[in-house]
Amino acid sequence: MKNEQTLLSQYDMKDLTLENRVVMAPMTRSRADNPGSIATDLMAEYYAQRASAGLVISEGSQISKRAVGYINTPGIYSDEQVEGWKKVTAAVHAKGGKIFLQLWHVGRMSHPDFHNGELPLSASALNPNDQSYTPQGFKDTVAPKEMTIEEIKETIADYGRAAKNAMAADFDGVEIHSSNGYLLHQFFSRTSNIRTDEYGGAIEKRAKILFEVIGEVKKYIPENRIGVRLNPSLHGIFGMTLDEETIPTFDYIVNRLNDYELAYLHLSEPFTDVTDVPGAEPHIAKHYRPIYRGTLMINTAFDREKGNQVLNDKLADLVAYGKPFISNPDLVERFAAVAETAEWDESTFYTTGAKGYTDYPTLKS
């Protein structure tokens, strides 16, 4: 059975051979519950449990103090954080796994409580009208501060430092989080970016920051160890609203990504039903497979059968699984055995401690 499943076949992602095509999607789990936002031993155990994935992508890791928007998320800007992550990468590598770090800046999806009362930063001063999970519980978001050109340049430099740190922490590569309504996505979208300078207006200007970030990250990491994540049809959540320029903007971005020899492009199918939303693209893999020439990773609501199907249909090269990996540390082994998968418990997604984190059993345990 094993060899009949494309999901379980090896994949050469440029110079990195993945043992299978089952990727663990990046997932914030809020277990870095210490003042320095440092990855912990428990996190090392959690990732090691899931190391049989062809590739593990870490939870979003904030590139600077200003980049944070949720409690207990790990950073990648201090030396102590590098030391913390080293334990994670060593544990995953000891099990023969591969792991990329997700570089994260939440932009306006934050709250002044995280920034000594100062406003979060974004492309424009437009409130996402969402909620931020602060140390005092959920609070309404506010209108952020429109970034100055200097702040944009500093932020791009922060991505570079974070990439350098990721290498120092022995990650196999990084994924640039440019999806799900966070900072880079806020620049892409006309509804969150009304700037009139070189970073706003025309599609190319709204997309500019991503290519500058890639350029900075490339100073420290070869292109073939850099992934980019996009969620083109995100609508109605995380402060994002689709309009008729959204898909043309992503088409432009994906076309330009062809100019790089990236590790992969990671795309999400729509998180919500967008069939009746004007301008939305309900079939992301089908739409982007003909456009993108490199390795395409697809995500959202896949199970074993759908994962094999999308690969067999040649619509993607890799499939990223999120929630199934939370509750099935041995997801790959379960797929190989065509075994049942366990349901996840949402109530422990963002809590502290081992419960709902490292205590999900494997088939063998």
Ligand X SMILES: Cc1cc2nc3c(=O)[nH]c(=O)nc-3n(C[C@H](O)[C@H](O)[C@H](O)COP(=O)(O)O)c2cc1C
Catalytic residues: 182
What the block records as the tokens of 87 is 């334990």
Token output for 215: 């350029």
Q: For residues 92 and 239, what is the distance between their CA atoms, to the nearest angstrom?
A: 34
Token pair of 182, please? 């966070």
User: In terms of CB distance, is 229 or 235 closer to ligand X?
Assistant: 229
For residue 74 the two structure tokens come to: 């790990």
What is the rounded (10 degree) CA torsion for 153, 191, 124, 212?
0
Residue of 216, 241, 240 lying closest to 226 (CA atoms): 216
Look up residue 90 and give its two tokens: 């060593």
Crossing angle of helices 203-217 and 246-257, in 10° steps, is 30
Give the HSE-up count for residue 195: Cα atoms under 13 Å, Cβ half-sphere: 26
Binding site for ligand X (CB under 6 A): 25-28, 59-60, 102, 177, 179-180, 229, 268, 299-302, 321-324, 349
Residue type, 180: N
Least distance in Å: CB of 320 to ligand X?
7
Exposed (0-12), middle (13-18) or buried (19+): which is 188, by Cβ within 10 Å?
A: buried
Kindly give, in sequence order, each residue whose CB lies less than 8 Å from that of residue 344, ignoring residues fewer than 6 positions away: 323, 324, 326, 327
Residue nearer to ligand X on the CB measure, 25 or 221: 25
